[in-house]
Amino acid sequence: MALSLRRKQLDVIVRMLHLNQQQLPNGGEGQGEEEAYKLLVMDQPCVNLLSPVLKVADLRRHGVTLTLGIDRPRQAVPDAPAVYLVRPTPSNVDRIAADAAAGLYSSFHVNFSTSVPRPVLERLATACAAAPAACAGRVARVADQYIDFVCLEEGLFSLAQPRAYVALNDPAAADADITSLVDAVALGLFCVFATLGVVPVIRCARGGPAEMVAAALDARLRDHLLAKPNLFTEAASAAVASFQRPVLCLFDRNFELSVGVQHDWSYRPLVHDVLGLKLNKLKLPAEKYELDDSDKFWVTNSWSPFPKVAEEIEAQLAKYKQDVDEVNQRTGGGSGVEFDGTDLIGNTRHLMNAVNSLPELTERKKMIDKHTNIATALLGHIKERSLDGYCDCENDMLVNGTVDRNTLLNLLRGKGTKEDKLRLAVTYLLSFETPPSSELEQVEAALRESEVDMSAFQYVKRIKALNTQFAAASGTATKSNIVDWAEKLYGQSLSAVTAGVKNLLSDGRQLALTRTVEALMEGKPNPEVDDYLLFDPRAPRSGTAGQFKGPFREAVVFMIGGGNYIEYRSLMELEQRTQPSKHVIYGATEILSGAEFIHQLAELGQKAGLGGGSSNIPSGAAQ
């Protein structure tokens, strides 16, 4: 049983668009609704979750003639039903109640993207009850759909919760704010597993946001499973029959910081990082493109190094020109004409073949032009910012554990944006456990020469110093002093920054994340994961007897604080190389580029008073 998150989310959305009637493949119930037109009213978060899975043509095929924003003025269409898909917020239910009171549509089919809190539901009921009876009666259905996540492709999703890393590591964050965010992440993950119809076994490291989210999700799943029937009842028999449940591996972004900031040379991460790919859509100055699984070139080449992509575009263009020339020759449109008027049947066949090949040739030309434009835009940035140099230098540090000092300093003083230089410097800091002090001073001086804000660099330097000092401390009193200082400086992030310096440092070609996920899926004794916590919502709360630790064939890997395409690719490679085959879905609170994540590190550095070149490290701490 392969987990099919995107397909299952799409099934829920399609059923919702058909007014929550079950769609049968050969007609039957719900068939008449396909012919009725309807309106779709959404708030912006739901627009974002819908756009990667359904295009305008798909919506029309399901009877949606108009898509409208709930927060914008709308004209009445009194003879058409309206499907609402919104988050359960007080402002949204107030708008729905006002629309019903005004009689904008013939019937209202209200769908909340996630579980609606009781006060919000009561607010809607009270407002509708106060309206005229005819208007209140138009609310035909209110449903929780549990689809409040953005599924970018079959194996990749985001909870679209921005700046979670900052919120969780802000030294000034209140306990209530932390708890609220943890609950929101747990609810988002609950939606993911409710859509999949499976209850996971949860694994996470001790301490920090990962354990907090694991405990909150475990409690939410346990409470829900008490009800009979529940969202997981239908899938329970299938799960028992296959003796398989997925493992949910929860990680905090501090587990492996370097991956969040490094540059990458593959096509997809480059398009995301450099050109700003969002929700599978790309905006260039003159064009807008969609990059998803409907684009065969993107599917085939998006993980290839950029030079190979450029070569493939040239090869595709040459093949296209060859096929066009062949069509022209056969139809008498070019040199070397083969069109013979005496062979009427043969010539007619050539013309028919040419006509039939035109749509395919046109689509190929569109695809070639699209990726030629994208590659040209990328090439401009690569040359302007020397991105190939940044990638090579970071690769040497992270993979080979070496650095050419002159190359490093020339990059920091040369081409590239300030974010590029800061990312390189942070990668340098995380690649070596104890870099030479003279070299570190030169790196900091080069950053200041380039007028780079040092907040992010100082923040990571401080976290690393704290980890090193904590790991080296042998006496309880020494550790206690470090903890007291860390609590004052970092607040809620204490448990994260003391997770161990080994997690901050890259470990060869395989990411620490991928290595840990593989160990958790194998379920064998392993010193790296033996102390990981296990939560099983289906098991009794007391004791650990009977808890299943693997092996697992399926996993959902979730990064709290922001994920990226580099980790996603690494997990896909894990799928491909393991036997028997494993299936992994990767998700995060948000999908971040290196530049976006470095800005969050800088914000935390500023909040901690670490801007510029100042140093507040306690006496005796490593520099």
How many residues can be counted in the chain? 623
Percentage of the chain modeled with pLDDT above 90? 63
pLDDT (tens digit per residue) in 513-536: 999 999 999 988 888 898 999 999
Distance CA 340, CA 124 (A): 75
Confidence band of 613 (pLDDT split at 50, 70, 90):
very low
CA angle 256–250–566, rounded 5-degree value: 45
Percentage of the chain modeled with pLDDT above 70? 81
pLDDT (tens digit per residue) in 374-423: 999 999 999 999 999 999 999 999 888 889 999 999 999 999 999 999 99
Check residue 335 and give its pLDDT.
47
**Is the pLDDT reported for residue 351 higher than 60?**
no
pTM for the model:
0.87
Distance CA 201, CA 217 (A): 11
pLDDT (tens digit per residue) in 84-133: 999 999 999 999 999 998 889 999 999 999 999 999 999 999 988 887 77
Check residue 23 and give its pLDDT.
57
Strand order in the sheet with 38-42: 64-69, 38-42, 77-86, 105-112, 139-144
**Is the pLDDT reported for residue 537 higher than 90?**
yes
b/e per residue 150-170 (b: at least 16 CB within 10 A): bbbbebbbbbbbebbbbbbbb
> Could you give the 3-state DSSP secondary structure of residue 86?
strand
Instruction: Give residue for tokens 């990668």.
Output: 427
Residue 185 contacts residue 563 (beta carbons within 8 Å) = no
Instruction: Give residue for tokens 């200082």.
Output: 485
Question: What number is the average pLDDT over the span 203-228?
Answer: 93
Check residue 523 and give its pLDDT.
87
Distance CA 371, CA 313 (A): 7
Q: On the CB side of 607, how many CA atoms lie within 13 Å of its CA?
A: 19
CA angle 291–293–296, rounded 5-degree value: 85
pLDDT (tens digit per residue) in 328-337: 776 655 444 4
Distance CA 448, CA 460 (A): 17
Q: Which two tokens stand for residue 123?
A: 């607010």
Confidence band of 540 (pLDDT split at 50, 70, 90):
confident
pLDDT (tens digit per residue) in 30-81: 444 445 789 999 999 999 999 999 998 899 999 999 999 999 999 999 999 9
**Is the pLDDT reported for residue 469 higher than 90?**
no
Confidence band of 541 (pLDDT split at 50, 70, 90):
confident
pLDDT (tens digit per residue) in 276-315: 999 999 999 989 999 999 999 999 999 999 999 999 999 9
pLDDT (tens digit per residue) in 373-386: 999 999 999 999 99
Least Cα distance to 498 among 509, 487, 506 occurs for 487
Least Cα distance to 5 among 455, 619, 584 occurs for 584
Least Cα distance to 605 among 594, 595, 616 occurs for 616
Check residue 483 and give its pLDDT.
43
Check residue 411 and give its pLDDT.
95
| Contacts of residue 56, Cβ cutoff 8 Å, sequence gap at least 6 | 67
Check residue 360 and give its pLDDT.
79
**Is the pLDDT reported for residue 25 higher than 70?**
no
**Is the pLDDT reported for residue 477 higher than 70?**
no
Average pLDDT, the chain: 84
Question: What number is the average pLDDT over the span 336-348?
Answer: 48
| Contacts of residue 405, Cβ cutoff 8 Å, sequence gap at least 6 | 439, 442
Confidence band of 612 (pLDDT split at 50, 70, 90):
low
| Contacts of residue 360, Cβ cutoff 8 Å, sequence gap at least 6 | none
Residue 6 contacts residue 192 (beta carbons within 8 Å) = no
> Could you give the 3-state DSSP secondary structure of residue 180?
helix
Task: Give CA separation, 592 vs 138, 184, 498, in Å.
Answer: 42, 19, 24
Q: Cis link prior to 90 (omega < 30° from 0)?
A: no
Check residue 496 and give its pLDDT.
40
Check residue 621 and give its pLDDT.
34
- Output DSSP code: residue 21: P
